[in-house]
Amino acid sequence: MLRIVKILLILSVAAYCLLSVADNIVDWRHVMGSIGGVTSMATVDGGAGWWQATKSPVVIALGWFGIVVFKILGGVGCAAGGWRMWAARRADAATFAQAKSLALAGCGVAVLGVYLGWTVIGEQVFEMWRSHIFAQAANTAFRYGGSIALIAVFVGMRED
């Protein structure tokens, strides 16, 4: 039963990543607008004049592209890893542990994308935390990244 729970958790991460990618593609104008709002720093008092503030369409598009790539890689890694885990669900502990590696890598990529995109770039470079509009996004990012990291820790635990 524990293995089934681990597989379902990994597949739920895959679903989050891939559904989120679909949303980012279908609603790309809104996503690009949000990224542009962060990179322009227009919602930070005096931020629009700071050195890092930019309205560059290239920077905004690269941000969108990075978000989509990390979510695709995380989602595909978790989906394929979940499939491998399913195939090894009745195998011995060592075989099942080996089957988890791709799923755990997918979780790692997903967490890296959230941390790098929101915390390092969004909060540190573009100081989202100063924005009355975008400051709350950090809580959302932590919820996503923290949940995925916790799932990875749980799934990665040994089974004796």
Q: What string of H, E and C letters represents the secondary structure of the chain?
A: CHHHHHHHHHHHHHHHHHHHHHHHHHCHHHHHHHHHHHHHCCCCCCHHHCCCCCCCHHHHHHHHHHHHHHHHHHHHHHHHHHHHHHHCCCCCHHHHHHHCHHHHHHHHHHHHHHHHHHHHHHHHHCCHHHCCCCCCHHHHHHHHHHHHHHHHHHHHCCCC
Is 126 a residue whose pLDDT tops 90? yes
* Tokens 């932590």 -> residue: 142
pTM of this prediction? 0.92
**pLDDT > 90: percent of the chain:** 89
pLDDT tens, residue by residue, 64-92: 999 999 999 999 999 999 999 999 999 99
> What integer best gives the mean pLDDT of the chain?
95
